[in-house]
């Protein structure tokens, strides 16, 4: 070892990307779930009342078909489990490769210095140390390559078994299983039906308790979780307490089933298509904190809420993020157009730019927000009319409280800082969630452009920190009662007497045409910066609460806006105005 070692070559690229494995697993899950639905409707294909040779032939054909479906479903389930495991292994191998690449840069830099012209020869001890580091790195790269090859080989073997089952099913030999079949209680073993039935019962006993469900779910193995997910994806995907990643996988299966089965628009077909478009748009985006996919589908109920649908869609993984923000939009929001997702994306980017840890943001739209697709449809107008009352907010508040508790229960690491944000009628909904669960999982409650909340003080609403963003020229924020006057949706949280922590926002323009924009401006500029600060554990810039009479009453604001707009029109059309305008 008279000289330094030769530079260490770079570790090879992964032959397969974990994102590709995730997509394959999703496709296999959907195929398996479709076969399960075929199995479920199998008994309906019986022909009661048939007699003779035709009846016997029908029964034999039906039994053979269902047996083949069962065999294929079991094989697909095994392929799902194998592909899911491959995805996990590839993600870990990718992280290991990045660490090896960093080590290589460091070692090669030292080798380059040692071999540069004019550099003194290394003493024997330093040379031996550098040789040892280079050898250790080479060995580590070789071990890493072996694990990559093993992961690929294991997955190829699992898919080969799937091909073998498909071939056997095509021969018409009922009940055929490959020699390397699953474990005795596995997806096609003799003990499996009883085992699955027991898992279903255990799940249902815990379904209404997110903390209990989360603790039980952690005790399950990969095969058990996947079997439950495929058995009833629509239930698993919407259960508070099930980990976000498993909910996402189940809901993606449900979306695939809905697209394959062709939901009618009134039953959620538009929601299924819009959600599928969003999943496709983000298919290549990766969470830099986890290496996992960026977008997660936490709730998917396309036919809920009088056809408007219910969804919760997140960027980042709330179970593994340090800071989590959940946004609740208000009136006119519907799952079919994923209303408010652009704000969730803006908030995610803003929080991530702070660089204070991993982040996740979630759009929660799983309540019947008052809305109308058409102002000429009587039923749509009746739906929108609910905005003048708190009934929808009360019902939505109970569902939101369960969702937030579920995020707290499924948190996989140190407890995340959870911030719940409600805008407009969504702030009223969030207020009811806070009131029904004052000691819930949220550390911060942020009320934006609020028309009212169901308590006269922040302390009476929740034990969390209550933050208020209210533009003085936002007419919706003037709808709440100030402690004396009645209001349909509750108390104005921007009032000084409420005791919330009011932060600065753009006050908005004074013209009549600006008023709607004022109400929609809370996710831009100073307001967005302050929401970001709250959600990432920093201090926003404060504003004073409204003293009684400190902000213009609604009628006064509208009158001022009308005069401002009219005055501007008169000025623009006057001789002096046209002259000075030149």
Residues 406 and 236 sit within 8 Å (Cβ to Cβ): no
State yes or no: pLDDT of 492 exceeds 50: yes
Burial 131-156 (b: 16+ CB within 10 A, else e): bebbeebeebbeebeeebeebbeebe
In the sheet with 359-365, reading across from the earlier edge strand, the strands are 295-301, 310-315, 359-365, 323-328, 417-423, 444-448, 465-469, 501-502
Mean pLDDT of 86-104: 88
For 141-152, how does the pLDDT look when each residue is reduced to its tens digit (9 = 90+)?
988 999 898 888
Q: Angle 43-255-324 (CA atoms, 0-180°, nearest 5)?
A: 130
Closest CA to 493 of 443, 442, 449, 556: 449
Mean pLDDT of the chain: 80
Cα distances (angstroms) measured from residue 556 to each of 10, 217, 336, 379, 512: 70, 56, 37, 33, 12
The pairing of strands 465-469 and 444-448 is: parallel
Q: Identify which of 25-29, 321-325, 391-395 has the greatest average pLDDT.
A: 321-325
pTM of the model: 0.77
Between 199 and 483, the more confident residue is 199
Give the whole-angstrom CA distance, residue 5 versus residue 113: 12
Instruction: Give, for 311, the enclosing helix (H) or strand (E).
Output: strand 310-315
Mean pLDDT of 49-56: 64
Band (pLDDT 50/70/90 cuts) for residue 131 is confident
The answer to whether the Cα torsion of 20, 24, 30, 33 is positive or negative is negative
Q: What is the pLDDT of residue 296?
A: 96
Neighbours of 526 (CB within 10 A): 15
Give the whole-angstrom CA distance, residue 230 versus residue 84: 13
Looking at 329-439, which runs of residues are DSSP E strands? Answer: 359-365, 417-423
Q: Identify which of 24-28, 171-175, 395-399 has the greatest average pLDDT.
A: 395-399
Cα distances (angstroms) measured from residue 366 to each of 302, 310, 347, 476, 479: 10, 4, 20, 23, 25
Neighbours of 409 (CB within 10 A): 21
Residues 404 and 418 sit within 8 Å (Cβ to Cβ): yes
The pairing of strands 310-315 and 359-365 is: antiparallel
Give the whole-angstrom CA distance, residue 365 versus residue 363: 6
Give the whole-angstrom CA distance, residue 469 versus residue 465: 13
Band (pLDDT 50/70/90 cuts) for residue 250 is very high
How far out from the chain centre does Cα 297 lie? 4
Closest CA to 139 of 151, 150, 131, 149: 131
Mean pLDDT of 72-93: 79
How far out from the chain centre does Cα 5 lie? 49
Range with the poorest average pLDDT among 84-98, 118-132, 160-174, 557-571: 557-571
Mutual orientation of helices 244-261 and 18-41 as an angle, nearest 10°? Answer: 60
Between 454 and 571, the more confident residue is 454
Among residues of the chain, what percentage have pLDDT more than 70? 74
Name residues whose C-beta falls within 8 Å of residue 521's C-beta, 6 or more positions apart in sequence. Answer: 471, 505, 506, 508, 527
Closest CA to 100 of 139, 131, 127, 128: 139
| Rg of the Cα atoms in the chain | 30
């Amino acid at each position: 070892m008279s000289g330094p070692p030769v530079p260490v070559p770079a570790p090879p690229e992964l032959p397969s990307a974990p994102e590709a494995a995730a997509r394959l697993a999703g496709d296999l899950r959907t195929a398996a779930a479709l076969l399960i639905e075929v199995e479920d409707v199998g008994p309906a294909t019986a022909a009661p009342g048939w007699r003779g040779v035709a009846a016997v032939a029908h029964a034999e054909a039906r039994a053979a078909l269902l047996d083949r479906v069962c065999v294929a479903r079991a094989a697909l389930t095994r392929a799902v489990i194998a592909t899911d495991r491959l995805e996990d292994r590839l993600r870990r191998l990718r992280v290991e490769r990045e660490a090896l690449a960093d080590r290589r840069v460091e070692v090669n830099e030292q080798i380059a210095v040692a071999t540069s012209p004019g550099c003194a020869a290394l003493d024997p001890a330093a040379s031996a140390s550098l040789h040892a580091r280079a050898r250790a790195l080479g060995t580590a790269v070789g071990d890493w390559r072996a694990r990559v090859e093993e992961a690929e080989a294991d997955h190829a073997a699992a898919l080969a078994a799937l091909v073998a089952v498909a071939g056997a099913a095509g021969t018409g030999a009922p009940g055929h299983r490959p020699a390397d079949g699953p474990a005795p209680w596995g997806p096609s073993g003799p003990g499996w039906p009883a085992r699955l039935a027991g898992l279903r019962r255990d799940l249902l006993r815990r379904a209404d308790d997110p903390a209990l469900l989360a603790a039980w779910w952690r005790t399950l193995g990969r095969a058990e979780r996947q079997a439950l997910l495929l058995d009833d994806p629509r239930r698993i995907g919407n259960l508070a307490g099930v980990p976000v990643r498993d909910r996402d996988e189940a809901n993606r299966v449900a979306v695939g089933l809905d697209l394959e089965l062709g939901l009618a628009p009134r039953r959620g077909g538009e929601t299924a298509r819009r959600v599928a478009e969003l999943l496709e748009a983000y298919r290549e985006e990766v969470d830099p904190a986890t290496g996992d996919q960026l977008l997660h589908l936490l709730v998917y109920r396309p036919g809920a809420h009088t056809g408007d649908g219910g969804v919760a869609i997140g960027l980042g993984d709330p179970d593994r993020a340090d800071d989590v923000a959940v946004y609740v939009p208000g009136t006119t929001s519907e799952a079919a157009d994923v209303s408010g997702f652009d704000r969730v994306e803006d908030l995610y980017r803003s929080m991530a730019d702070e660089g204070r840890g991993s982040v996740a943001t979630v759009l929660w739209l799983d309540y019947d927000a008052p809305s109308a697709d058409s102002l000429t449809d009587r039923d749509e107008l009746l739906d929108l009319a609910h905005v003048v009352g708190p009934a929808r907010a009360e019902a939505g508040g109970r569902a939101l409280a369960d969702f937030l508790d579920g995020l707290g229960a499924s948190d996989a690491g140190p407890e995340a800082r959870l911030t719940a944000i409600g805008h407009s009628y969504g702030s009223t909904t969030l207020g009811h969630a806070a009131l029904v669960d004052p000691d819930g999982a949220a550390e911060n409650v942020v009320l934006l452009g609020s028309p009212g909340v169901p308590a006269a003080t922040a302390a009476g609403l929740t034990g969390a920190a209550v933050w208020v963003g209210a533009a003085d020229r936002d007419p919706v924020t003037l709808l709440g009662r100030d402690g004396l006057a009645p209001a349909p949706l509750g108390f104005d949280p921007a009032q000084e007497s409420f005791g919330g922590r009011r932060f600065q926002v753009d006050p908005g323009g004074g013209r009549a045409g600006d008023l709607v924009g004022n109400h929609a401006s809370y996710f831009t500029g100073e307001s967005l910066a302050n929401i970001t600060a709250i959600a990432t554990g920093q201090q926003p810039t404060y504003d004073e609460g409204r003293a009684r009479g400190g902000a213009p009453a609604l009628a006064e604001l509208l009158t001022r806006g009308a005069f401002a707009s009219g005055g501007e029109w008169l000025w623009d059309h006057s001789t002096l105005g046209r002259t000075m305008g030149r």
